[in-house]
Protein backbone atom coordinates (compact mmCIF):
# COMPACT_ATOMS: atom_id res chain seq x y z
CA UNK A 1 0.00 0.00 0.00
CA UNK A 2 1.26 3.47 -0.86
CA UNK A 3 1.79 6.11 1.86
CA UNK A 4 -0.64 8.97 1.72
CA UNK A 5 0.06 12.47 3.07
CA UNK A 6 -2.01 15.59 3.54
CA UNK A 7 0.96 17.83 2.88
CA UNK A 8 4.33 17.26 1.21
CA UNK A 9 7.05 19.85 1.79
CA UNK A 10 9.81 19.78 -0.80
CA UNK A 11 13.16 21.00 0.52
CA UNK A 12 14.41 21.65 4.05
CA UNK A 13 15.90 25.12 3.57
CA UNK A 14 15.05 28.08 5.80
CA UNK A 15 12.20 28.97 3.45
CA UNK A 16 10.40 25.84 4.58
CA UNK A 17 10.59 26.20 8.37
CA UNK A 18 6.88 26.85 8.74
CA UNK A 19 5.74 23.39 9.85
CA UNK A 20 4.53 23.83 13.44
CA UNK A 21 1.65 22.89 15.74
CA UNK A 22 -0.90 24.21 13.22
CA UNK A 23 -0.13 21.13 11.15
CA UNK A 24 -0.25 18.65 14.04
CA UNK A 25 -3.39 16.98 12.74
CA UNK A 26 -1.98 16.44 9.27
CA UNK A 27 0.23 13.71 7.94
CA UNK A 28 3.21 15.70 6.69
CA UNK A 29 6.11 14.39 4.60
CA UNK A 30 9.34 16.34 4.16
CA UNK A 31 11.40 15.52 1.06
CA UNK A 32 15.04 16.55 0.77
CA UNK A 33 17.33 15.53 -2.09
CA UNK A 34 20.54 16.86 -0.57
CA UNK A 35 21.70 17.67 2.97
CA UNK A 36 18.99 18.51 5.52
CA UNK A 37 18.89 22.25 6.24
CA UNK A 38 19.46 23.73 2.78
CA UNK A 39 21.82 26.51 1.75
CA UNK A 40 21.74 28.68 4.88
CA UNK A 41 22.67 25.91 7.31
CA UNK A 42 25.13 23.99 5.12
CA UNK A 43 26.70 26.39 2.61
CA UNK A 44 25.46 29.97 3.13
CA UNK A 45 24.77 32.01 6.26
CA UNK A 46 26.22 29.78 8.98
CA UNK A 47 29.40 28.55 7.21
CA UNK A 48 30.20 32.05 5.89
CA UNK A 49 29.84 33.53 9.39
CA UNK A 50 32.18 30.80 10.69
CA UNK A 51 34.79 32.46 8.44
CA UNK A 52 33.75 36.08 9.04
CA UNK A 53 33.94 35.92 12.86
CA UNK A 54 37.48 34.41 13.07
CA UNK A 55 38.61 37.00 10.50
CA UNK A 56 37.24 39.76 12.75
CA UNK A 57 39.04 38.28 15.80
CA UNK A 58 42.31 38.13 13.84
CA UNK A 59 41.91 41.75 12.71
CA UNK A 60 41.23 42.89 16.29
CA UNK A 61 44.21 40.88 17.60
CA UNK A 62 46.58 42.45 15.08
CA UNK A 63 45.30 45.93 16.01
CA UNK A 64 45.57 45.32 19.77
CA UNK A 65 48.93 47.12 20.02
CA UNK A 66 47.34 50.39 18.93
CA UNK A 67 45.05 50.15 21.96
CA UNK A 68 47.95 49.53 24.35
CA UNK A 69 47.21 45.81 24.63
CA UNK A 70 50.36 43.68 24.65
CA UNK A 71 49.11 40.50 23.05
CA UNK A 72 51.36 37.48 22.58
CA UNK A 73 50.01 34.45 20.83
CA UNK A 74 52.92 32.12 21.53
CA UNK A 75 54.11 29.72 18.86
CA UNK A 76 50.66 29.30 17.36
CA UNK A 77 50.39 31.02 14.03
CA UNK A 78 47.48 33.37 13.53
CA UNK A 79 46.06 33.89 10.07
CA UNK A 80 43.25 32.97 7.75
CA UNK A 81 44.47 29.39 7.25
CA UNK A 82 44.53 28.58 10.97
CA UNK A 83 41.14 30.28 11.43
CA UNK A 84 39.59 28.13 8.74
CA UNK A 85 41.17 24.99 10.22
CA UNK A 86 39.88 25.71 13.72
CA UNK A 87 36.37 26.72 12.58
CA UNK A 88 35.92 23.57 10.53
CA UNK A 89 37.23 21.30 13.29
Ligand X SMILES: Cc1cc2nc3c(=O)[nH]c(=O)nc-3n(C[C@H](O)[C@H](O)[C@H](O)COP(=O)(O)OP(=O)(O)OC[C@H]3O[C@@H](n4cnc5c(N)ncnc54)[C@H](O)[C@@H]3O)c2cc1C
Own/partner long-range contacts of 76-82 (Cβ < 8 Å, ≥24 apart)? 80/55
Q: Of all residues in this chain, which one has the CB nearest to ligand X in the complex? A: 13
- List, in sequence order, every beta strand (DSSP E) within 1-89: 7-10, 28-31
Cβ nearer to ligand X, comparing 32 with 55: 32
Give 17's DSSP letter.
Answer: T
CB of 37 to ligand X, least distance (A): 7
When the beta carbons of 31 and 61 are compared against ligand X, the nearer one is 31
The footprint of ligand X (CB under 6 A) covers: 10-16, 31-34, 38-40, 44-45, 48
Amino acid sequence: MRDRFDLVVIGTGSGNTFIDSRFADLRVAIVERDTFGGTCLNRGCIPSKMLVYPAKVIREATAAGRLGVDLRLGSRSVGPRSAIASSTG
